[in-house]
Amino acid sequence: MSKKKFPKIDVYTSTKDGTKHLSVAAGTDVASLTLPADFDPDMKVLSPFKTRIELDPAKTRTALNQEAVQQQINKNGYAIHNATYEITVGSVAK
């Protein structure tokens, strides 16, 4: 039985706002993307975040809506998404 293959993406983070991400099909040269005139200026300078992430709807990914990202990539050639993950740290009573 062969394992089903899912698309892979590369994720980039805005250097101006670390909660903003741009994802593309793995191996895509982001410098070659055609972007709209009203494209978020925070997203014009990017840093690689993670590469070759396999999108698999059966697996939960923290801070990544895989279905929405795949739909945007299919439509636009890229996906814009935010990711925040909060951890509350408190003191422990002794």
Considering the entire predicted model, what is its pTM?
0.82
Give, for all 94 residues of the chain, the pLDDT tens digit: 556 678 999 999 999 999 999 999 999 999 999 999 999 999 999 999 999 999 998 888 888 889 999 999 999 999 999 876 677 887 766 6
Q: What is the CATH number of domain 8-82?
A: 3.10.510
> For residue 8, what pLDDT is reported?
96
Q: Strand pairing of 20-25 and 79-82?
A: antiparallel
> For residue 29, what pLDDT is reported?
95
> For residue 6, what pLDDT is reported?
82
